[in-house]
Each structure stands twice: as C-alpha cells, then as structure tokens.
Amino acid sequence: MIIAKRKPFEEIKEMLTPYNKVLTLGCGTCVAVCLAGGEKEVAVLNAELDMARKLDNNPIELGAFTVERQCDMEYLEVLDSMVGEYEALLSMACGAGVQFLAERYPEKPVFPAVDTTFIGVNRAVGWYEERCRSCSSCVLGMTGGICPVTMCAKGLFNGPCGGTNKGSCEIDKDQPCAWYLIYERLSLQGRLDSIKNISPAVEWQNQAPRTVIQPGYKKPDEAEAGN
Ligand code: SF4
Ligand code: SF4
C-alpha cells in the first residue's frame, strides 16, 4: 500500500491561513490503513486546527468527509454538492488523491495535509517499511523476492558491490546488504545460479507519468468511440 505521514502541523496551518471555511477530506484506503489520513485522522486534525485558529483569534469553519478512495473519480462524485460551500479543500490522501481532487474542482485551492512517502508493508501497527519504488521492471523473480531497487543503497540490479561487508551495506553496519540477503534467499531455494544472470542496464521508466490499462480494458475515449 501507499504509505504517507501527516505534515507538520505548522505547515498545514500556514497553508490555510487565508481561508476561513475549509473542507478536510480523508481517504478510506491506504492512508487510512497506515493511520495518516482516514476518518479518525481527519477528526483529530480538524480539532487541532480549530483550537489553534481560535487561539490566533482567526477562527475557521471546518467540514469533514472521508471518501472510499480519492484516486477514483467515481468516489469523488459525492463531493460535488459539498465543495461549493467551502473556500478551499484540505486533502489527507496521497499525492494521487490530491491531484484528482484538484482536477475535479479546478476552481478550488486544494492543499495536501500528508506527505506521500513510499509503497510499503505493514510490519506492525504504526510501523511501515518501504518495499517497492514502482520501477516498472520488476526483477523479484530473479532476486528471491527481495527488491534491489529499494533495499540496495545503490539500487544495483547486479550485485553485490565491493562495499558489502559480512552481511552489512557499506553505508551503515546496521543496514543489511540487499545482495547478501538475495544470496541467502536464493541459496535457501537452491537457485543460486540466478544471481549469476547479468541484468542489462535498466531502462528507467518512472521519469514521466505512466499509465496502466489492464488487458481487456480501453482508454475511455477509445471505449466511447467503440474502437
Ligand atoms: S524491482 Fe523493486 S522497485 Fe521494481 S517493481 Fe519490483 S519491487 Fe518494485
Ligand atoms: S553493500 Fe550491498 S546493499 Fe550496499 S550498496 Fe553494495 S550491494 Fe547495495
């Protein structure tokens, strides 16, 4: 899932300074699960903002609503009848959700209340670890299910480098060497030959916005045209 963390309170408060009526919008999916931007976090943030603005003698009227997913237009429709009442929107979704809100309501200033951080796993309640940088060229099949882009400090597709030292990465003795972990995992599976495959130089595909259309689906304009 996408992991995010709430922005520092002062940063959020500063963004909203010129506005007196703001709708805070949570997202019920990834950011709710990682305790950054779901219904509960919307309520907590609004309470803090309300108190802070009263103390500043600049009261603010805050609305609250949490949609199923802000990254899906279908779930934004419910907001159409609400947003007109507000001067600005404060989104607690990831960056994709914020952008979809801004696209649907271009006349409204939309502000992010969280920093989108990474694609990760839930290690324990409130503890998340990065596991993928969406490189568009997944090599997990060759690396025993360990991501060299995320876990190796140099993002090496062929490793280890000369800095590997008794299982640790050269950047920090407490940081495991990704390629040592890959060696151990492949060894356990009796697939050590896989580490000898030299991966060609990576064609990085995450430098421009990408689109995924699953097999059997079409772009909306193509579907409408009946192509
Ligand atoms: S190789 Fe790593 S960064 Fe690339 S898609 Fe696979 S898990 Fe994600
Ligand atoms: S020591 Fe291992 S994890 Fe660190 S940069 Fe080299 S190959 Fe990557």
pLDDT tens for residues 24-77?
999 999 999 999 999 999 999 999 999 999 999 999 999 999 999 999 999 999
Work out the average pLDDT over 199-214: 80
Could you tell me the residue ranges of all domains in the chain?
Answer: 2-118, 134-196
Residues 6+ apart with CB under 8 A from 53: 13, 59, 60
Mutate-to-test residue for ligand 1 from 2, 3, 139, highest number of ligand atoms within 8 A of CB = 139
Q: Which of ligand 1's atoms lies nearest the C-alpha of 147?
A: 2
* Closest ligand relative to 131 C-alpha: 1
DSSP letter (8 states) at residue 183 = H
Q: How far is the CA of 13 from the centre of ligand 1 (A)?
A: 36
Q: How far is the CA of 1 from the centre of ligand 2 (A)?
A: 25
Ligand 2 and 164: CB distance under 6 A: yes
- Enter the pTM of the model: 0.90
Minimal-distance CA residue to ligand 2 atom 8: 152
Please provide the DSSP assignment of 9-66 as one string: HHHHHHHHTT-SEEEEEEESSHHHHTTSSSHHHHHHHHHHHHHHHHHTT---EEEEEE
Q: How far apart are CA 25 and CA 88, in angstroms?
A: 11
* Closest ligand relative to 182 C-alpha: 2
* Closest ligand relative to 121 C-alpha: 1
Span 144-179, pLDDT tens digits: 999 999 999 999 999 999 999 999 999 999 999 999
Q: How far apart are CA 208 and CA 210, in angstroms?
A: 6
Strands 110-112 and 88-91, by their bridges, are: parallel
Candidates 3.40.50.1820, 3.40.50.300, 3.40.50.2000, 3.40.50.2300; correct CATH number of 2-118? 3.40.50.2300
Q: How far apart are CA 40 and CA 180, in angstroms?
A: 41
CB 142 within 8 A of CB 153: no
What's the pLDDT score for residue 53?
Answer: 98
